Amino acid sequence: MLGVAHGDNLFGVDSSAVSIRPDGTFVVMGLPPGTYFLQFREGVWPPPKTVLPKVSGAKVIIADADVTHVRVAPIEMVTVTGRLLLVASQRTLQLSEIKVAGVSLSDHKSGRPGASA
């Protein structure tokens, strides 16, 4: 399944999914003009903690015409290390409650990978 999210890449908020055909093609119909983020997750989701996820994505901007030749391309995942500093609060966080994710600013600003019309 291919995830389709309308807006600022907030999957689960105003999102849907479409089937991917055996030949790898897909069609998303009936979308109003706007910005959409497409995402495909390969394999078991969520992946085991020791496995880097395989995710592909595209940003598509729909104006006043159909958009064709959209390519959902692999997003290179990396492992990073560092420290997460929290401000002292009344609530104690468990390590299992913390998830950190990042987005490449260069790809996010340019809209790569993807297409626009």
Hey, what amino acid is at 87? V
Query: 44: domain range?
Result: 2-116
Q: SS3 for 17? A: strand
The answer to whether 29 touches 18, Cβ cutoff 8 Å, is no
Mean pLDDT of 80-108: 69
How many domains does the chain divide into? 1
pTM given for the model: 0.66
Q: How far is CA 89 from each of CA 64, 86, 92, 93, rounded to the nearest angstrom?
A: 49, 8, 7, 9
For residue 69, the model assigns a pLDDT of 93
Find residue 34's DSSP bridge partners: 62
- Phi and psi angles of residue 104, each rounded to the nearest 5 degrees, phi first: -65, 120
Lowest mean pLDDT among 34-43, 62-71, 72-81, 99-108: 99-108
Decide if pLDDT at 2 tops 90: yes
Find residue 5's DSSP bridge partners: 15, 37
